[in-house]
Amino acid sequence: MDINEFAAVGTEAAKQAGQYALDRLRTDFSVEHKGTINLVTEVDIAAEEMIVTRLQERFPDHSILAEEKNNETRGGACTWVIDPLDGTTNYAHGFPFFSVSIGLEISGKVLLGIVYDPVRDELFTARKGSGAFCNNEPLHVSKTESLNAGLLATGFPYDIRTSEQNNLKNFCAFALRCQGVRRTGSAALDLCYVAAGRIDGFWESKLNPWDCAAGYLLVSEAGGLVTDYIGGSASIYKAEVVASNGRIHKEMLDVIKTVGSR
Ligand code: IPD
Ligand code: CA
Ligand code: CA
């Protein structure tokens, strides 16, 4: 087991796929619907193939859990958890905010997280117990003490039109309690921005493991707190998350409790 080698190969894969997505931004690529508003482009699929091929060549005994074509496996001693393009709706519209997210789970724990934003050429990395970094500079969560002074981010699930658990009630409640709520369209980058102290907190439900495997580690390694909606331990396989600088965490949980998790 060589975590340095895993990190190096994972980083190469994320950068290659991110550069590819950037090169193809606003070009003529095909877009299909996975659901009413859930899109997938040929770039998502090609980026995934690029990452998976590279990882499988180097680590043939590792498992892959990736959003588009490899999303059925779970488990194995070493599992790469991959979102080849986080922010597909943005991407399909030519809105330049998206990322590649790669986490490595070893014996049930995410030990490595890599998120690459090719638009800003920002590489976010974390290793369990060794801190979080952006382009090799250490990251720290913000020092904002109260929700009232906080900037938050969130997102909405693809079943927003048909499910009552669509986050709109939480969104309204938080919008009235903090300085602003951003809906950036890339949960992986939202989490990196919490780690970097650019936003103070993030919450969302119905995320998939590939959206958050790298991001949760980034936040905790940058000194933040990641839990479920009731303050219990977070998991990339749990539906709900609150990630914050720690200082405003209880206030965020209280808002969600008052609303009733919706
Ligand atoms: C989505 C983005 C978005 C979040 C959605 C995710 P995708 O991922 O992370 O910010 O709100 O829940 O599904 O579909 O662009 O990879
Ligand atoms: Ca995603
Ligand atoms: Ca995706």
Quote the domain boundaries for residue 69. Answer: 3-138
Contact between residue 13 and residue 62 where contact means Cβ atoms under 8 Å apart: no
- Judge if 153 and 103 occupy the same domain: no
Give the whole-number percent of the chain exceeding pLDDT 70.
99
What domain count does the chain have? 2
pLDDT above 80: residue 73: no
* Cβ neighbour number for residue 46 with a 10 Å cutoff: 18
- Judge if 134 and 151 occupy the same domain: no
Q: Which of 34, 211, 236 to mutate to test the pocket of ligand 1 (most atoms within 8 A of CB)?
A: 211
- Using the mean position of ligand 1's atoms as its centre, give its distance from the Cα of residue 119 in Å: 17
**How does residue 255 score in pLDDT terms, banded at 50, 70 and 90?**
very high
- Write down the pLDDT at residue 169: 97
Task: Confirm or reject: Cβ of 185 under 6 Å from ligand 1.
Answer: yes
- Write down the pLDDT at residue 72: 80
More confidently predicted of 70 and 253 = 253
- Judge if 20 and 134 occupy the same domain: yes
Residues 6+ apart with CB under 8 A from 231: 249, 250, 253
- Using the mean position of ligand 1's atoms as its centre, give its distance from the Cα of residue 2 in Å: 31
- Judge if 164 and 122 occupy the same domain: no
d(CA 114, CA 103): 6
Task: Confirm or reject: Cβ of 44 under 6 Å from ligand 1.
Answer: no
Kindly report the CATH number assigned to the domain that includes residue 194: 3.40.190.80
**How does residue 74 score in pLDDT terms, banded at 50, 70 and 90?**
low
* Each residue's pLDDT tens digit, 168-203: 999 999 999 999 999 999 999 999 999 999 999 999
d(CA 105, CA 131): 17
Domain-ending residue, one of 138, 160, 184: 138
- Write down the pLDDT at residue 262: 72
- Judge if 133 and 158 occupy the same domain: no
Q: Which of 186, 189, 191 to mutate to test the pocket of ligand 1 (most atoms within 8 A of CB)?
A: 186
Domain-ending residue, one of 138, 162, 194: 138
- Write down the pLDDT at residue 86: 98
- Write down the pLDDT at residue 75: 66
Mean pLDDT rounded to a whole number for the chain: 96
- Using the mean position of ligand 2's atoms as its centre, give its distance from the Cα of residue 258 in Å: 28
**How does residue 76 score in pLDDT terms, banded at 50, 70 and 90?**
confident
d(CA 182, CA 202): 9
Q: Which atom of ligand 1 is nearest to the CA of 88?
A: 15
* Each residue's pLDDT tens digit, 228-248: 999 999 999 998 999 999 999
**How does residue 30 score in pLDDT terms, banded at 50, 70 and 90?**
very high
Task: Confirm or reject: Cβ of 83 under 6 Å from ligand 1.
Answer: yes
d(CA 65, CA 160): 25
- Using the mean position of ligand 2's atoms as its centre, give its distance from the Cα of residue 205 in Å: 12
Kindly report the CATH number assigned to the domain that includes residue 124: 3.30.540.10
Mean pLDDT score, 214-220:
98
- Using the mean position of ligand 3's atoms as its centre, give its distance from the Cα of residue 31 in Å: 13
Select from 140, 67, 130 the least CA-distant residue to 98: 67
- Judge if 216 and 126 occupy the same domain: no
- Judge if 124 and 200 occupy the same domain: no
Task: Confirm or reject: Cβ of 155 under 6 Å from ligand 1.
Answer: yes
* Each residue's pLDDT tens digit, 101-159: 999 999 999 999 999 999 999 999 999 999 999 999 999 999 999 999 999 999 999 99
